[in-house]
Amino acid sequence: MSDVHLARPAAVAAADLRRLAAALTGRLWLPGESRYDEKRAVVNERCTGVRPAAVVSAATVSDVRQAIRWARDNGLAVTPRGTGHSFAGYSVSGGLVVDLSGFADVVADESSGLVTVGGGATMSPLYRCLEQHQVAFPAGNSPTVGIGGLTLGGGVAAVSRAWGLTSDALVETVLVTADGQVRTCNARENPDLFWACRGGGGGNFGVNVSFTFQARPVTDVSVCCLIWTGADAHAVALLDTLQEAVRQGPNEFSARLGLSTTGRGQAVTVSAVGLFLGPARDLRDLLRPALDVAPPTRQEVLDLSYWAGKDYLRHETFGGRFAVRTRLSPGPLSADALETLLWWMRRWPGSRNVDGAGVGLFAWGGAINGVPATETAFVHRDSLFLVSMDTSWTEDDAPGQVDANLRWLTGMYEAMGEHLPDSAYQNFTDPDLRDWRTAYYGRNFPRLVDIKRRHDPDNLFRFEQSIPAT
């Protein structure tokens, strides 16, 4: 299936919509109005067919409450929208979308290191504020990603092996629940919701209007970018060596190891883009075994400030239409598993999207695994790598070519099932994943259902992969 879900807007009486518009400080956007299409846009163009009944651009917490109550009265689902970065497009539905871009403030308290971020803020203003105060916590590596989805699904950054997840730094969130109540959630107040908001996935339990994180002082870093183009002959040895560098290296070192192709039958490229909370001379030592396997075609290892390092790692990742499937690996991938990935990469059917196709091995573990699996809703506390497999295409690709890409991706995903468990990262939402309940949430799923049943028994916050109330 190339288009994910083509939901039509639910039918609502014009008088009811007028009543909602009149109650808001912010704006209501209806189909056909000037900013309606902008407000329902999603990053993955594969999912652009979804048309909400209306979009509330909320300006105040009271707007969020009004929207929730109104949607309940009119039998519509409520869908919070931060930025539209959900890979599966889950921040737009045929119901009432609550656009949180008006909740973009970021405030840091220098004495405590607490940073309070509006529920719709992106990384851009967040990093600006953090840099001003020279503090940080693990956050996204693209300026346009939103704090809401990132935190609620866990949130992994280049510093996560040293400092944990974005959600591990969360100390409090303010949530408007399905009954329209505004609830402060932290270790003492509403601890069950606080637990669920740390890995239970975006859009499930209410609208989070703010998040408060504990930040820490930053230090200088070093970064690396190593690229081996036409590396087919050395690919397995390179990835094997780089995986060992991660496994044996300190938690201060993290990297995204890549295998990519831009065309059918084209040579495969191996890459390692990483960050070290320490000097470049030590980072070079960590990378030396890989440099000894084969000389890279591009090699950069640099000392940078924390902020320049974050910019260096920035990647927009995907454009156009794409699909991503993930598995988690408890240790380094075996040579057989790496050969399997290489076999599939050589057989990518091709498309017109310059992003091509690839596999990313994101270094996890370290401090992420230092938290027990049931302490927060984020269950994946025993992995060393997130294995992310992707393909991309454009609207100019013929339907047959799109199907070939999706079949290819699923073929690779299934072949990797012989080597890796079925767990998947809930922030890389995968609409084609069959048993997403276990894959995203494992043994934490029953507790999430229980919390959902108590706080949203009528399933107001619902989408294709939402936590069910029963």
Ligand X SMILES: Cc1cc2nc3c(=O)[nH]c(=O)nc-3n(C[C@H](O)[C@H](O)[C@H](O)COP(=O)(O)OP(=O)(O)OC[C@H]3O[C@@H](n4cnc5c(N)ncnc54)[C@H](O)[C@@H]3O)c2cc1C
What residues make contact with ligand X under the rule CB under 6 A? 43, 79-87, 90-91, 100, 119, 140-142, 145-146, 148-150, 152-153, 155-157, 202-203, 207-208, 316-318, 427
DSSP-derived letter for residue 35 is: T
Report the nearest approach of ligand X to the CB of residue 204 (Å). 7
Instruction: Determine the 3-state secondary structure of 94 from DSSP.
Output: coil
Q: Which is nearer to ligand X, 338 or 460 (CB)?
A: 460
Contact 180, 65 (CB under 8 A): yes
Instruction: Select 207 or 389, whichever has its Cβ closest to ligand X.
Output: 207
Is residue 312 within 8 Å of 304, Cβ to Cβ? yes
Least CB distance to ligand X at residue 2 (A): 19
Nearer to ligand X, 205 or 228 (CB): 205
CB of 51 to ligand X, least distance (A): 16
CA distances from residue 204 to 12, 65, 193, 467, 468 in whole angstroms, order as listed: 23, 16, 11, 6, 9
Closest distance of CB 112 from ligand X, Å: 23
User: What's the Cα-to-Cα distance from 411 to each of 23, 169, 343, 389, rounded to whole Å?
Assistant: 51, 37, 11, 11
Q: Please report, for the chain, how many H helices and E strands are present, in that order.
A: 14, 18
Do the Cβ atoms of 98 and 80 come closer than 8 Å? yes
CA distances for 28 relative to 25, 33, 60, 121, 236, angstroms: 10, 9, 13, 20, 54
Question: What are the φ/ψ torsions at residue 241 (nearest 5 degrees)?
Answer: -70, -40
Report the residue number, 296 or 309, with the smaller CB distance to ligand X.
309
Shortest separation between residue 284's beta carbon and ligand X, angstroms: 25
Q: How far is the CB of 137 from ligand X (least distance, A)?
A: 13
The amino acid at residue 437 is R
Is the Cβ of residue 142 or residue 241 nearer to ligand X in the bound state? 142
Contact 5, 431 (CB under 8 A): yes
Min dist CB 234 to ligand X, Å, is: 28
Least separation, in Å, of the C-beta of 170 and ligand X? Answer: 12
Distance between alpha carbon 142 and the CA centroid of its chain, in Å? 10
Burial zone of 213 (CB within 10 Å; 0-12 exposed, 13-18 middle, 19+ buried): buried
Q: Which is nearer to ligand X, 165 or 293 (CB)?
A: 165
Nearer to ligand X, 91 or 261 (CB): 91
Shorter beta-carbon distance to ligand X: residue 200 or 350: 200
